[in-house]
């Protein structure tokens, strides 16, 4: 019996009206809202002293947006990404991703949410050093029970589309920083996620490679892939469709 999807497991999702169109999940111009963050807060405690890492954040993200998140160190931008990515639990608020209320998802099902709905791209690539580029991308689909032949074909196609058709059998140590990051982008795309979260994806590469990665993000956005990028680099931010700035846990939308 095939594995049941997230919605079939009884998790709280947005109501599905007739014809598959959710009028409550559309933006002002009829665009699909892929992510809705409402009054999201995160408070840590240092002893008895509360530290407000994020304060009542509200964000609406349209499908296909390339959104930059900027702010100084300690401003809350990484906390925001971790909450949206279900890597941390919020103190308060709501996160609706592609029709699923993430705050209502049972802890044991969060790994499945991450596999099915979210792709992660990291500053340090996080590739498995003993696996080839093809194997690194293919591995991300195993836990989603994608058949082996389909996994290999999808991984190969993604790497070829990203200009790595001649690097399929190379291990990470045999690839440049830019090539490793492109492998991690392919891995993030492998399960066809609703949202990609990229944490300083150009922080370890030179300016030429940075521009290449940003160009890939823009092309993916134009094809309908939604991407949130945390960055310190104004050159990256200016190429995004919108910029959010965070200071002391408070979000301002440029």
pLDDT tens digits in sequence order for the chain, 254 residues long: 344 444 444 444 444 333 333 444 555 556 899 999 999 999 988 888 988 899 999 999 999 999 999 988 888 888 999 999 999 999 999 999 999 999 999 999 999 999 999 999 998 899 999 999 999 999 989 888 899 999 999 999 999 999 999 999 999 999 999 999 999 999 999 999 999 999 999 988 889 999 999 999 999 999 999 999 999 999 999 999 999 999 888 888 65
Question: Which pLDDT score, from 0 to 100, does residue 34 have?
Answer: 97
Does residue 236 lie in a domain region? yes
pTM: predicted TM-score of the whole model, two decimal places:
0.85
Token pair in block for residue 76 = 């809350």
- State how far the alpha carbon of 10 is from the alpha carbons of 80, 109, 197, 223, in Å: 26, 11, 26, 31
Determine if residue 187 is left, alpha or beta; phi over 0 gives left, psi from -120 to 50 gives alpha, anything else beta: alpha
Which pLDDT does position 29 carry in this prediction? 57
Q: Taking a C-beta distance cutoff of 8 angstroms, is the pair 133, 169 a contact?
A: yes
Per the domain annotation, does 120 fall within a domain? yes
Structure tokens at 109: 């099902």
Q: What is the pLDDT of residue 27?
A: 55
Query: Residues 6 or more apart from 228 whose CB is under 8 A from it?
Result: 35, 61, 67, 69, 81, 84, 195, 196, 197, 198
Q: Do the domain assignments include residue 161?
A: yes
Euclidean distance between CA atoms 77 and 249, whole angstroms = 8
- Residue 36 is assigned to a structural domain of this protein: yes
CATH number of residue 92's parent domain? 3.40.50.300
pLDDT score, position 8:
41
Residues with Cβ < 8 Å from 48, sequence gap 6 or more?
none
Q: How far, in Å, CA of 167 to CA of 85, rounded?
A: 30
Q: Identify the pLDDT of residue 94.
A: 95
Round to whole Å and give the CA distance between 196 and 46.
31
The number of distinct structural domains making up the chain is 1
Task: Please report whether residue 1 resides in a domain.
Answer: no
Q: Which of 76, 96, 81, 84 is nearest to 34 (CA)?
A: 96
101 inside domain: yes
CA distance 187 to 228: 16
DSSP 88: S
What is the C-alpha to C-alpha distance for residues 74 and 42, in angstroms, rounded to an integer?
13
CA dihedral (195, 199, 202, 205) positive or negative: negative
Task: Note whether residue 195 is domain-resident.
Answer: yes
H or E element that contains 223? none
Q: Which helix (H) or strand (E) holds 186?
A: helix 177-189
Alpha helices in 65-147 (DSSP H): 77-84, 110-117, 133-139
DSSP 146: -
Q: What domain range includes position 113?
A: 7-253
Q: Is residue 131 part of a domain?
A: yes
Instruction: Please state, as a whole number, how many other Cβ atoms lie within 10 Å of the Cβ of residue 40.
Output: 23
């Amino acid at each position: 019996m095939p594995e049941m999807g997230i919605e079939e497991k009884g998790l709280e999702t947005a109501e599905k009206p007739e014809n598959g169109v959710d009028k409550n999940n559309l933006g002002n111009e009829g665009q699909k809202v892929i992510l809705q963050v409402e009054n999201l807060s995160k408070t840590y405690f240092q002893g008895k002293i509360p530290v407000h890492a994020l304060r009542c954040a509200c964000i609406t993200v349209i499908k296909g947006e390339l959104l930059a998140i900027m702010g100084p160190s300690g401003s809350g931008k990484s906390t925001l990404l971790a909450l949206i990515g279900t890597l941390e639990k919020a103190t308060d608020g709501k996160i609706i991703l592609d029709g699923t209320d993430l705050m209502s998802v049972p802890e044991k099902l969060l790994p499945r949410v991450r596999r099915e709905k979210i792709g992660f791209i990291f500053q340090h690539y996080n590739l498995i050093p003993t696996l080839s580029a093809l194997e690194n991308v293919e591995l991300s689909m195993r836990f989603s029970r994608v058949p082996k032949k389909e996994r290999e074909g999808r991984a190969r196609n993604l790497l070829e589309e990203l200009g790595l058709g001649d690097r399929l059998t190379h291990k990470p140590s045999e690839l440049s920083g830019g090539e490793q990051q492109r492998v991690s982008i392919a891995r993030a795309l492998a399960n066809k996620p609703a949202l990609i979260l990229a944490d300083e994806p150009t922080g370890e590469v030179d300016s030429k490679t940075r521009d290449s990665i940003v160009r890939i993000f823009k092309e993916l956005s134009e094809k309908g892939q939604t991407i949130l990028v945390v960055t310190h680099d104004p050159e990256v931010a200016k190429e995004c469709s919108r910029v959010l700035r965070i200071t002391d846990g408070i979000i301002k939308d440029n």
